[in-house]
Amino acid sequence: MGKRGLSHIEFVISFVIFAAFIAFAFMFFSPLQSNRTLKSSLDYAWLEVDDMTKNKLETYSVFIKDDRIGAGDFIAINIDVPRGFNASVENSNGNPIPAHRNNIGAVHFSNPSDNFVRIKYSPVFPNGVPINGVVLDESGYSISSSEVEELYFERSFDDLNRSYFSNYIVLKKQFNLPNRVDWGFVAKFNETYEVVALRDIPEEAEVLSKNERIQAVSKSGVKKYVDVRILVW
């Protein structure tokens, strides 16, 4: 009687352990679980790409009033923006004008023929070749409008692309992605130019992606629409 009771208890315990193992294996290897992991990884990847490619852009429309300033003259304007921001200047047609922001914050550039410029500031812009112009005081120009935005930048996508191929493992950890999940992105700026950061995707891999059309600032400072696709597998 004692032996039969002991065997029965052992059988029950073994069955419970076996059932728990089967349940664990099903949860771990379940396609549904895998899909949930990919979905959350896609969300994480998109948030990180968004954070690393978006930055502040401040735009000021400026009219030159000083009668002593002619077309082509080199001038400088000092607008109160953060010191770490460099400037991109364009004329009324949206064409870039070479510009340089010096160490006291003044932006130097050549005055266009219609005395109108847009000065755009961002920490993403590189600083141009030094130019020396006449610094105008506030009576020599007027700001007709200003705007502060959070936009994506082509240069930031280029930087992320370089990080992707030079230090993928570190970047993946920074994105907080599981070891068994890989990711990549494509940013299409026009029909002939796109920034592609993709590793080889196994043929049998399940791939999830997210597509979004965003507004980005080109390297010349011009706003344009870009199609961005994030992938995980």
- Written as one string, the DSSP assignment of 37-87 is HHHHHHHHHHHHHHHHHEEEEEEEEEEE--TT--TT-EEEE-----TT-EE
pLDDT digits 0-9 by tens, 145-195? 999 999 999 999 999 999 999 999 999 999 999 999 999 999 999 999 999
Banded pLDDT at 220 (limits 50, 70, 90)? confident
Percent of the chain with pLDDT over 70: 85
pLDDT digits 0-9 by tens, 19-64? 555 554 444 444 444 688 999 999 999 999 999 999 999 999 999 9
Residue 173 DSSP code:
H
d(CA 119, CA 66): 17
Banded pLDDT at 18 (limits 50, 70, 90)? low
38 contacts 233 by C-beta, under 8 angstroms = yes
* DSSP H helices in the chain: 2-29, 31-53, 154-166, 168-174
pLDDT of residue 8: 61
117 contacts 91 by C-beta, under 8 angstroms = yes
pTM, two decimal places: 0.80
Q: Average pLDDT, stretch 222-229? A: 95
Which residue has better confidence, 10 or 123?
123
208 contacts 233 by C-beta, under 8 angstroms = yes
pLDDT of residue 27: 47
